[in-house]
Amino acid sequence: MLLQCDTQKVLDNGNAGGAHCGAEIAGWPCARVEIADKPVLAARVLRWRSIPSRYVFVDAQADGEEWQLCFAVSQLSATALVDGALLRFTGTEEAARTRRGLRAWQCDRLVELTLCVPCDAAEAGGPAPPAPSEAALCKWFVRGACSTASCPFRHQFANEHEEATVRATRERWAAQRRAHEDAADPFAGGGGGGGGGGGDGDGDGGGGGGGKKRSHAKRHAEFASWLLQIFGTEALRGGAGVLDVAGGGGDLAFELQCRNGVRTTLLEPREVRLDSRQRRWLRKQGEGGLGPYRHIRDLLDERFEESDEGARLLREAACVVGLHADEATEPIVDAALKYGRPFAVVPCCVFPRLFPQRRLASGGAVRTTAALCDYLLQKAPGLEAGFLPVAGRNKVIFRRAAAPPQPERTLAAPAVAYIPQSVSRAELRHAVQEHTGGKDGE
């Protein structure tokens, strides 16, 4: 509930004004005047966001509906706004509404900014403060469903245009998902039969479908479960265990080692730390488990391959894996083929500019994830394809068993020396720690 106030701070024509009470503002001369043949409009601030040094976007209530206003930062600063502030401005309405179905205004002049609620909004000549039911439309509701019990955002449409816009957006998203789905995916469309086999092999690919896809956030747990099903727990526990390449935050390594007892080494150049949930899990396990996974801060390249530790891991790994490993996806396959190890990768991003030399058997360039999967499958006979029951890129390229090494094979490398900026910072920090005995900056 908005409370009454005794004074208001007013910005008049872009300049700081004095203090005025609600009664005085009722006769404010700019309330119903025209400036440069444009009417002065009034709206009550609901929320705002900005593009630094460029624009401020304000969602505001006016004429019983929600508007979206766009100001240049020279006209209005985001730091000057407060909830419920009254804006008077001139501007031009856009021809099309926003994707949320709001009327959009390109504002060319801020006439007045009242930074607090007048004693009587009706007397002030502006719209009344927004009711709680006029909150912004919930983004999770737009995407399909909201699971938050006390969600403060709106779960119903304000008008027919907003409803039509959201429905069109949902249909567009569904069409995009269908366009990226593999025809052999047993989980496409939330279910379906089939074994999910493909590639040059006839494997089952990890299950018989018929189930709804889980959220993208469950990909690490689902991939770990898939690995245990396809390769077997005892097989993965053999040798040097699983080598997880480009494993990001270590979630897959945690699922394998800490939750399933499969010794795992994470090869990731960035600094990785267990989160609070993972630390609690390890504390509850006590000394009975394997403890946290091992982390080697390095890249899968020739330098790692030539190191004693790298060569040992590649020779003795029970399985080499990569989940959405980006640039490291093809090197994982090459390393597994070179050292004769089982492997499983879930390709995602393609990076065609970094790997322009990739060509399909047909001669076509590799520019899509589907083409990348086909390209990896053609690297050697006996490779298979399967699918994970998760949203997003879920196709797995894998080899079930060890095979004769191919020592003549080389690991794929980008056409240009490319290391992400975050990796560069991590390597620099790691080098400083090694040089100083683990103390930064000394």
Residues in the chain, pLDDT under 70: 1-37, 116-135, 190-211, 417-442
Q: Which fold has domain 216-399?
A: Rossmann fold (3.40.50)
- The pLDDT, as a whole number, for residue 53 is 85
Largest CA-CA distance found in the chain, in angstroms, rounded: 89
What is the Cα–Cα distance from 243 to 261, expressed in whole angstroms?
14
How do residues 330-353 score in pLDDT, each as one tens digit?
999 999 999 999 999 999 999 999
Query: Contact 426/406 with Cβ under 8 angstroms?
Result: no
What is the Cα–Cα distance from 229 to 225, expressed in whole angstroms?
6
Pick the CATH number of 40-115 from 2.40.50.140, 1.10.20.10, 3.30.70.890, 2.60.40.10: 2.40.50.140
Question: Of 333, 303, 308, 440, which Cα lies nearest the Cα of 397?
Answer: 333
Query: Contact 440/285 with Cβ under 8 angstroms?
Result: no
Tokens (6 digits) for 408: 């003549």
H and E: helices and strands count for the chain: 12, 16
Neighbours of 292 (CB within 10 A): 18
Question: In this structure, what are the phi and psi dihedrals at residue 171, rounded to the nearest 5 degrees?
Answer: -65, -40
- The pLDDT, as a whole number, for residue 424 is 58
What is the Cα–Cα distance from 27 to 228, expressed in whole angstroms?
75
What is the Cα–Cα distance from 334 to 77, expressed in whole angstroms?
54
The 343-346 sheet, strands edge to edge: 294-296, 264-267, 242-245, 319-323, 343-346, 395-399, 384-387
Angle at CA of residue 36, ends 31 and 37, nearest 5°: 80
3-state secondary structure at position 21:
coil
Query: Which residues, listed in sequence order, are joined to residue 399 by a DSSP beta bridge?
Result: 343
Distant-in-sequence, close-in-space partners of 431: CB < 8 Å, separation ≥ 6: none
User: For the chain, how many residues are written?
Assistant: 442
Cα torsion 406, 380, 256, 275: sign? positive
What is the Cα–Cα distance from 124 to 112, expressed in whole angstroms?
12
The residues spanned by each domain of the chain are 40-115, 135-181, 216-399
How do residues 291-311 score in pLDDT, each as one tens digit?
999 999 999 999 999 999 999
